[in-house]
Structures are given as C-alpha cells and as structure tokens.
C-alpha cells in the first residue's frame, strides 16, 4: 500500500458511495410496469456493515430516485442518504455541514463525471475499473474488482486495513 494513499485512507471518517456503476454494475432493469430493478452484491453489503462497525460513517449520494436503493440503504443502516441529486457537490457540502467532518476526512466512490465535484473535494477519491477515464484520472485509488461485483467491499477493506481496524473487525468470523 502506497504510503501517501495509506495516509489519505487513515483519515477517513465518512465513506460516501454513488450507486449506479459503483454499488451496482450500472445496468438498469426496467419492467413492463415501469418498475426499476437493481442488483446488489452481498459481499459489498457486508463490507459496508464492517466498515461502519469500524467507526466509519456511511453515506449514499445518487442522482436517480429508486425505492430499491432506499431499501438497500435502510437494510445496511446507511447514516446519510441522498437520492435524486443533480448536484452532488451541493449534497457533499450538506454532508460536511451535518457531520462536522472536514473534506479530507471523507472518501467518495464514484464512476462518472457527475461524481467529479465531490471526488475532487474528498480526501480519498475511489473509482472502479469501468469508471469514466476522467474519473479514473483523478481517483487516488481504482479498485481491481468491478462495480457490483466486489468493488465496494474492496474499498471498505482497503480503508479498514489502512486504519488498522480490519483484523479486529473480521476476527470474530475466524473463531
């Protein structure tokens, strides 16, 4: 782990996720009835729960409105939830105000240019392999796993390992 990257990750108190293309593979399934469906990865979900257990707060900022994302956020006990957001920079500023955290204490995981404003302000910007080129260019860390298939878990584990909480958090599962 690069020392500069580790230093960034050690400061994180709030992890913010985009949804489509980060927590999902970016596919949108729309039924004949107009209902939208998304597929989430259970390992990603456990990674988020473990990260929260380590003391890092969780947030979601997504541009789309989706009942399935609301349900997922509630199931994972996400601390701050924003959906239908056209200006993610504004939502990021609201999170800073609500939490009292400094921007360098926040990580943002995104995949497309609408995620650039909060990523540029965050202390740790994370993207995925299929992220837009401009996003990957500014990301401090690009996961090896793809979106919707373990990328979120990889990011969560990365932060816990950098903060030295990973071993303690996962130890109960090895008994």
Is residue 85 within 8 Å of residue 66, measured between CB atoms? Answer: no
In the predicted model, is pLDDT for residue 99 greater than 80? yes
Q: What structural domains and CATH numbers belong to the chain?
A: 3-168 (3.40.50.1000)
Going by the annotation, the residues of the binding site for Mg(2+) are 18, 111
What pLDDT is stored for residue 2 in this prediction? 86
DSSP-derived letter for residue 132 is: -
Going by the annotation, the residues of the binding site for substrate are 20, 49, 64, 72, 88
What are the tens digits of pLDDT across the range 120-168? 999 999 999 999 999 999 999 999 999 999 999 999 999 999 999 999 9
What are the tens digits of pLDDT across the range 9-57? 999 999 999 999 999 999 988 989 988 889 999 999 999 999 999 999 9
Going by the annotation, the residues of the binding site are 18, 20, 49, 64, 72, 88, 111
What pLDDT is stored for residue 34 in this prediction? 86
Cα 11 to its chain centre, rounded Å, is 16
Q: Is residue 26 helix, strand or coil?
A: coil
- In terms of pTM, does the model score above 0.75? yes
3-state secondary structure 71-131: HHHHHCCCCEEECCCCCHHHHHHHHHHHHCCCHHHEEEECCCHHHHHHHHHCCEEEECCCC
């Amino acid at each position: 782990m690069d020392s500069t990257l580790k230093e960034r990750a050690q400061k994180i108190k709030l992890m913010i996720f985009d949804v489509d293309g980060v927590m999902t593979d970016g596919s949108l399934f729309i039924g004949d009835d107009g209902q939208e469906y998304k597929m989430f990865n259970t390992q990603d979900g456990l990674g988020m729960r473990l990260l929260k257990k380590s003391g890092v707060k969780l947030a979601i900022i997504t541009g789309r409105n989706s009942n399935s994302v609301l349900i997922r956020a509630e199931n994972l006990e996400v601390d701050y939830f924003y959906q239908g957001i056209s200006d993610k920079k504004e939502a990021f500023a609201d999170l800073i105000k609500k939490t009292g955290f400094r921007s360098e204490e926040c990580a943002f995981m995104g995949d497309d240019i609408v995620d650039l404003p909060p990523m540029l302000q965050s202390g740790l910007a994370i993207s995925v392999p299929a992220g837009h080129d401009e996003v990957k260019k500014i990301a401090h860390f690009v996961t090896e796993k793809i979106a919707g298939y373990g990328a979120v878990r990889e990011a969560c584990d990365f932060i816990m390992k950098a903060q030295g909480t990973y071993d303690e958090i996962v130890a109960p599962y090895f008994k």
